[in-house]
Amino acid sequence: MDKILVTTDFSTNSKAGLRFAIQLASQHQFELTFLHSYYIIKPTSWSDATFATYKKREEDKIQNKLNRFVTDVYKRMGVVPGTIKCIIKSSVFTDSNIREYAAENKFSYICISTRGAGKLKKIFGTNTSSLINQSHTPVISVPPHYRTTKIKSILYASDLVSLENELKKVVAFAKPLSAKWNCFISFFPLK
C-alpha cells in the first residue's frame, strides 16, 4: 500500500492538503500519516530539567492540537477516519524535517498545501517550493482553494531531467484513480 505523508502547519491553507489526501484515500488505498514540524527554543537562563519539563508539556499540547486539527477536517468532510497516524517532529528547518521523515519512513508521496510569499513562493509557498526542489519523494502540491471533489485530473511539473522515470510514477499514481494527467515542462531547473 502506498503511504502519503500529509503536512500541516495548522493554517487554514494547510487544510486543502489534508482534504486532498483524504479524498485520495477514499478513491484508492493510501495509508495517511499527518505530520506537523515544530521547534521549541530553549531560553538560555533555563536549566536542562526546567526546559525538559516545559518541552514535554508543549509537545503534548502540539500533539493534541494536531489530533484535533486532523479530526476536525475529517468531520467537516463527513468522512470517518480509518487507521491514521498523527506525528509531531522537532526541527529548526521544516522542509528538511519533512524530507528526512519521508525518506526514513519510505513514504510514496508528500502532500502539502501551497500558499503565497515571493515569486516562485507566491505560487507554491516557502516549504512547498523547497520540497519540490529538493525532495527525492514525489511531492503533491495542493492549491489552498481546493475543495473536496473526486480527483479526475493531475498536472505534473517536470524539468525533463528524469522524465521517463517520473512519468512511470505519474502513470502509476493516476491509473488507480482513473485520472487524466498533463505534464508542465519547466525550462528552469526545478531542482
Strand-pair partners of 38: 90
For residues 89-111, give the mean pLDDT.
95
Q: Which residue has the higher pLDDT, 14 or 120?
A: 14
Instruction: Give the model's pLDDT for residue 40.
Output: 96
> Using 50, 70 and 90 to split pLDDT, how confident is the model at 155?
confident
Instruction: Give the model's pLDDT for residue 186.
Output: 58
Instruction: Give the model's pLDDT for residue 118.
Output: 38
For residues 140-151, give the mean pLDDT.
84
Instruction: Give the model's pLDDT for residue 152.
Output: 82
C-beta of residue 16 within 8 angstroms of C-beta of residue 142: yes
Encode pLDDT of 40-55 as tens digits: 999 999 999 999 999 9
Look at the domain 2-151 and name its fold: Rossmann fold (3.40.50)
Encode pLDDT of 117-129 as tens digits: 434 444 445 788 7
Per DSSP, the three-state class of 3 is strand
- What is the maximum span of the chain, computed from C-alpha positions, in angstroms? 58
Dihedral sign for Cα atoms in the order 151, 155, 161, 165: positive
C-beta of residue 112 within 8 angstroms of C-beta of residue 103: no
Domain coordinates of the chain in residue numbers? Answer: 2-151, 152-191
